[in-house]
Amino acid sequence: MSTTNYVTVTNNAIEESGADLATFDTGGADWTSNTNTLMNRMRRYVARAWKEIQQEAFDWGFLEEIAVVNINPGVMFYTDGAPVTDFEGQTSINILDQDGSTAVGAIPISSYYDLTGISTDTKPFGYFDVTTTASSPITWSLKPGAEYFEAVNVSIVTLTKMTQLVPLDLTKQYTLQSSFPFIKTCNVISAVADGLGTYTVTLTIGENASYVVGAPGLELTLLNSPFTIYYQHTGGTVATSDFAASRKAFIHGWKSFNFSEETGIDDFQESIKEVDQKSFRIVDYFKAPATGEVPIQYVPWEAFSRLYDISSAPPGIPRVVTRDNTNRFRLYPHPYYIFTLKFDYTRLPQEISAYNDVFKGLDEDYVDIVMWKALIYYGEFDEQPSVAARATKNYKNILTRLEQQYRQKFHLSPARLY
């Protein structure tokens, strides 16, 4: 891999250009503060050259990586209009049948992912991951559309008292003092001086609730969870009110995967551009290494959608993978607990910016290709045909050698006679 960095290649390009220019400080002291227009243009030419070289071929070997991602089973859902964020914070849910009876109870949840505006235009849509272990795999199936879940009051926390002087400022936010980071602020929507000087609010609230706190008269709006509000005016009386709000989310199907979302510390992938569909291997997350890696078959979406896209099928050990019509990957059977997927992929082109960035994956022998490509841009812009011609010749010579080393080799073989 090249150890020559961005500032060095830029300085080399300046010197080869023949222009009467200074060079950048190799320690980066003037990398972002230099005001010379042509020097900064040369810097941009080098960055653009490296990006375009990476895009010169779709199968550069130096852009290829092997990904290792641990995939959590999960469920896609859509809502009755409430945003997906209304359901965040829950650690378990009950899936209910259309008649309100419990189809699957106490499903442990680890996280939510909002796909609204990505997979849909405006319809709230996303997925949640299901927490599983070797001893507690998924043993249930799904009934899309007919089954749903609601926000569940999972755990109750008690906030400390908040005291503010009246009258309240309608333009400000007042902080509820709490050790829980997901409960931070409340907005005053009206304020009436009650002559008591101060007031105190004590809330007992589910961790997934969102809320707006009103005036000393305590006009409160809380969503997603059954709860009780306790409030007291200093020197006044104590009263209680019960509130409840229902938010429904309907089952869409088993989770589909975009591996760019797998960014845990136990995952290895970055900047995925294209996945090699024939390279999928599955590893049992919970079993000993003797089980090895098992290839799984890629099936085109047209065939998968007819044969395997069945949400009511019970989960199991995945044997088939596809890329669906939303450009996400699906597995069949859906995993019944965490599995590890390995696959080959091509990285997105690296975009360099810092003075000490190096050209990822490129051998030192070929690093001059970036300089010559940048000089082509310079020669064309500054109307220096001799510079552009010399740079083009040297660029093509190195590009030919680069293709011989980093692109797939093609061989002729005799045609079969049978």
Parallel, antiparallel, or unpaired for β 294-295 and 281-284? antiparallel
Residue that terminates a domain, selected from 201, 219, 254 = 254
Statement to judge: residues 130 and 166 lie in one domain: no
Domain-embedded: residue 313? no
pLDDT along the chain (418 residues), means of 10: 91 93 94 94 96 91 92 94 80 89 91 90 93 94 92 38 38 37 34 38 40 37 36 37 61 93 88 92 88 89 93 92 94 95 94 95 94 96 91 95 81 52
Say what the pLDDT of residue 137 is: 95
Token pair, residue 206, equals 């589910």
Domain-embedded: residue 178? yes
Question: Which residue, among 135, 147, 132, has the nearest Cα to 76 in the 3D structure?
Answer: 147
Residue that terminates a domain, selected from 240, 273, 290 = 240
Domain-embedded: residue 333? no
Domain-embedded: residue 271? no
Residue that terminates a domain, selected from 254, 284, 303 = 254
Please give the helix or strand (H or E) that residue 74 lies within, else none.
strand 74-79
Statement to judge: residues 234 and 199 lie in one domain: yes
Domain-embedded: residue 222? yes
CA distance 207 to 189: 22
Domain-embedded: residue 220? yes
Token pair, residue 155, equals 């755990």
CA distance 153 to 329: 33
CA distance 122 to 343: 33
pTM of full prediction above 0.75: no
The SS3 of residue 42 is helix
Statement to judge: residues 250 and 115 lie in one domain: yes
Question: Which residue, among 156, 173, 174, 150, has the nearest Cα to 164 in the 3D structure?
Answer: 174
Question: Which residue, among 11, 72, 1, 4, has the nearest Cα to 36 in the 3D structure?
Answer: 11
Statement to judge: residues 169 and 226 lie in one domain: yes
Say what the pLDDT of residue 414 is: 57
Structural domains counted in the chain: 3
Where in the sequence is the domain holding 178, given as residue range(s)? 157-240
Statement to judge: residues 250 and 104 lie in one domain: yes
Please give the helix or strand (H or E) that residue 414 lies within, else none.
none
CA distance 284 to 294: 9
Statement to judge: residues 190 and 118 lie in one domain: no
Q: What is the DSSP string of 189-214?
A: ------SSSEEEEEEEEETT-EEEE-
The SS3 of residue 294 is strand
Statement to judge: residues 100 and 138 lie in one domain: yes
Say what the pLDDT of residue 415 is: 56
Statement to judge: residues 120 and 250 lie in one domain: yes
Say what the pLDDT of residue 213 is: 40
Say what the pLDDT of residue 188 is: 33
CA distance 370 to 7: 12
| Phi, psi angle pair for 309, to nearest 5° | -80, 70
Domain-embedded: residue 33? yes
CA distance 131 to 151: 17
Statement to judge: residues 173 and 226 lie in one domain: yes
Question: Which residue, among 36, 28, 21, has the nearest Cα to 7 in the 3D structure?
Answer: 28
Statement to judge: residues 231 and 167 lie in one domain: yes
CA distance 296 to 281: 6
Say what the pLDDT of residue 226 is: 36
The SS3 of residue 50 is helix
Domain-embedded: residue 401? yes
Statement to judge: residues 137 and 250 lie in one domain: yes
CB 232 within 8 A of CB 238: yes
CA angle 82, 88, 92 (to 5 degrees): 115
Statement to judge: residues 198 and 226 lie in one domain: yes
Burial label, 404 (beta-carbon count in 10 A; 0-12, 13-18, 19+): exposed
